[in-house]
Structure 1
Amino acid sequence: MKPKLFIMAALCLLAYGASAQTEKGKSFINGSIGFTSNKNNQIVSTSPTFSTEQKAEAFNIVPRFGYLVADNWAIGLGAGYSRSKSTVNTVNTASSAIILATQTAKQHVFSIEPFVRKYVDVADKFKFFGEFNLGIGFGKAVSHSLYSAPINSSSEDSYKLTSYGAALSPGFAFFPSKKWAIEFSFPLASYRKTKPKDVSNGLSVPTTETFTFATDSFNPSIGFNFHF
């Protein structure tokens, strides 16, 4: 009889631990960090020689804090920073002299992302959640072009940018301990609009809008939450 009582008590404690992590007054922190880098060389023609070398790298970080305003209801805020850089080196011997060209584009964006999350109990230590978040970003883009002799010229263009977005992301949370949760989620639908301003040198930069569903590009993610 005692072993059965012990097992039942242990199961109750595990279930309570998962529920306690999402009860009113609790908090959690999570976030994401990423870095990508790639390089591509392409020979368009050999006579005359026309070849390109492309390099690109990107970095982003978004720490987030959430607070349970009611049982299974959380609100929170994320603050992010992203940086990207791409470089294209071109060799062109179509003229009498070799022309070397380097084009570089850089972009820096700071963002804030408020969100609302709802948890729903599924089983012991498992919860389903739905999250809705907004995103507002402010940044600057700079592009620089440099040409060697006989052209010997350089130019620089820049503009500020503002972006607005919203996303709905469902997922599942697994609570292996009282302090940690492992989450699997995917963007169900998202919208983003990016608008340039203060464009230099009469550069034409269009406003862009994107609206995507999970059926367009299924992009799941796995993360960790620390609850306290």
Structure 2
Amino acid sequence: MKHILTIFMLCAVVLQTNAQIESGTKYIGGTIGGSARTTTSDYKTSSFNVQPSVGYFLNSNWMIGLSTEYNVTNAENYATIYIGGYNQHAVTYSLKSTVIKLGPAVRYYYHVSDRFSLFGEGSIGVILVKDKHTAENVEFYSDPNPYYRGTTTISKYEKLRVGLAPGIVYFPTPRIGIELKANVMSYQTNLSDEKTQALFSISNKSEFNATFNLASTSIGAGFYF
């Protein structure tokens, strides 16, 4: 009798684990990511992003939902400019780009085991971009002597972005998943007119990006209920 009861309890646990995702299951979660690197002694860049999302499962494999993103990127470039071959001064160019995205998303889950699942996520949405460009120690000529000052320009525009992101989920419990996602592919195009500032130009051209590195990878968690 004790053996039968033990087998019954084990079967109940297995069934509970297998039933963690089914038609009508809801999802709420998100990922965070970031990177920092110095390509040369004069150029530095860093980024941080948060991607909350919610979803609803049509069946055990397909989920539809809403995805958002908040991303901040900072870049600095240092340059030494020579005037007439003799005079020189250092110029610091910096960029702070803030991105907010909102749009629908769809995921397909492939369940490798009770604990692991692979997924592919496709998303489309409108992104709002705010770029702040700053140049310090820029030299301007005036008679009889040159003078120095900083300049700051702010650009705001909208883009349409389509993205593809594969990922993997580990389920420590039937309702909680630990996610690792890589935003490996994206296509985006400007929805705003081209705007040219004093130091920088915003291109209206469409962009296609395919990459896999630390900056494109994020980690997070999801709650399935």
**TM-score interval for Structure 1 and Structure 2 normalised by the shorter chain:** 0.7 to 0.9
- 160, 164, 175: which one pairs with 2:160? 164
1:192-220 superposed Cα distances (whole Å, 9 cap, x missing partner): 114253514475432241153xxx64776
State how far apart, in whole Å, the 2-side matches of 1:171 and 1:80 are: 17
User: Bigger shift: 192-201 or 134-143?
Assistant: 192-201
Partner of 1:47: none
What is the Cα deviation at residue 22 of structure 1? Answer: 1.4
Partner of 1:143: 133
Query: RMSD in angstroms over aligned alpha carbons?
Result: 3.3
Structure 1 gap ranges (5+): 43-52
State how far apart, in whole Å, the 2-side matches of 1:185 and 1:38 are: 20
SS at structure 2 position matched to 1:199: coil
Residue 59, structure 1, aligned to residue 48, structure 2: yes
In 2, are the aligned partners of 1:160 and 1:198 still within 8 Å (CA)? no
- 175, 181, 196: which one pairs with 2:177? 181
Change (3 A) 1:88 1:170: closer
Aligned length: 213
Partner of 2:124: 134
Partner of 1:117: 107
User: Bigger shift: 178-187 or 56-65?
Assistant: 178-187
SS at structure 2 position matched to 1:123: coil
Change (3 A) 1:99 1:24: same
Partner of 2:30: 31
Q: Which has the higher contact order (CA 8 A, sep 6+)?
A: 2
One-letter amino acid of the structure 1 residue matched with residue 102 of structure 2: I
Structure 2 gap ranges (5+): 140-145
The TM-score normalised by the length of structure 1 is 0.73
SS at structure 2 position matched to 1:176: strand
Partner of 2:208: 210
Change (3 A) 1:198 1:131: closer
1:138-183 superposed Cα distances (whole Å, 9 cap, x missing partner): 1122322233564525444443332222234444433231321234
Change (3 A) 1:226 1:87: same
SS at structure 1 position matched to 2:10: helix
- 163, 175, 187: which one pairs with 1:192? 187
In 2, are the aligned partners of 1:186 and 1:220 still within 8 Å (CA)? yes
One-letter amino acid of the structure 1 residue matched with residue 57 of structure 2: L
SS at structure 2 position matched to 1:152: strand
State how far apart, in whole Å, the 1-side matches of 2:181 and 2:138 are: 49
SS at structure 1 position matched to 2:172: coil
State how far apart, in whole Å, the 1-side matches of 2:18 and 2:218 are: 21
Change (3 A) 1:222 1:197: same
User: Bigger shift: 103-112 or 197-206?
Assistant: 197-206
One-letter amino acid of the structure 2 residue matched with residue 199 of structure 1: K
Change (3 A) 1:222 1:97: closer
State how far apart, in whole Å, the 2-side matches of 1:88 and 1:163 are: 25
Change (3 A) 1:182 1:208: same
One-letter amino acid of the structure 2 residue matched with residue 22 of structure 1: I
State how far apart, in whole Å, the 2-side matches of 1:39 and 1:171 are: 27
In 1, are the aligned partners of 2:32 and 2:219 still within 8 Å (CA)? no
